[in-house]
Amino acid sequence: MIPPTRWLPMPVLSLLLLVVWLLLQHSISLGQWLLGGFLAILIPVLCRPFWERQPTIKRPLKLVGYFFRVLGDIVTANLQVSKLILDPRGRMRPAFVEYPLTLKENFPITILASTITMTPGTVSAHLRLDGRTLLIHALDVGDIDALINDIHQRYERPLLEIFES
């Protein structure tokens, strides 16, 4: 990864801002490059105090794989939730599940929590202050332990490998 310097405290964010700026302007003229570059430097410097320590991505390729897996799961999740909503008998087995986290850093935990919200039948409701359990509300769950195991295998382990291994 690109090492941070004084004027580029968050190189990845700067790059992202520049790319998004150019895409939004829908032009790659010199003026847009300059303006975008200026903003890409200025914004991270200004909002640096609000940010946590930047996470290090150890395996970028795995991150891409993770992204597509989540994308696929979002579609499945939607079909499942739609089916549950449309089911006239309304048989649902909602539950609060306490998920024990193995991730330690804040940024991967944020990604995990967002993933859980976007994927099948679960919304992450609360991160306990000790940072070790995540409270999840599930719409329809038969076996709570199976759900926890599923989330661990499917999402948390890849995140562990990407960010913390």
Partner 1 sequence: MLDTMIEGAIAFMLIAGGAFAFIGSLGLTHLKDFYMRLHGPSKTTTLGVGCTLIGALIFFSREDGPVIQELLITIFAFITAPVSAHMLAKSALHHKLKPDPRTRGNPVELESEKPRHTIEESPQGDSPLP
Taken in order 164, 68, 134, 108, the sign of the CA dihedral is positive
Residue 34 engages partner 1 in binding (rule: CB under 8 A):
no
Task: Report in angstroms how near the CB of residue 113 gets to partner 1 at its nearest.
Answer: 6
For the record, the structure tokens of 9 come out as 């405290």
- Map the footprint of partner 1 across residues 89-108, applying CB under 8 A: 90, 92-98
Give buried/exposed letters for 94-124 (b at 16+ CB in 10 A, else e).
Answer: eeebebebebeeebbbebbbebbebbbbbeb
CA distance 150 to 165: 20
Pick the closer one to partner 1 by CB: 93 or 165: 93
Site string for partner 1, 3-22 (x = CB under 8 A): -----------------x--
Q: Does an H or E element contain 54, and which? A: none
Residue 39 engages partner 1 in binding (rule: CB under 8 A):
no
Residue 82 engages partner 1 in binding (rule: CB under 8 A):
yes
Pick the closer one to partner 1 by CB: 64 or 165: 64
Task: Report in angstroms how near the CB of residue 62 gets to partner 1 at its nearest.
Answer: 19
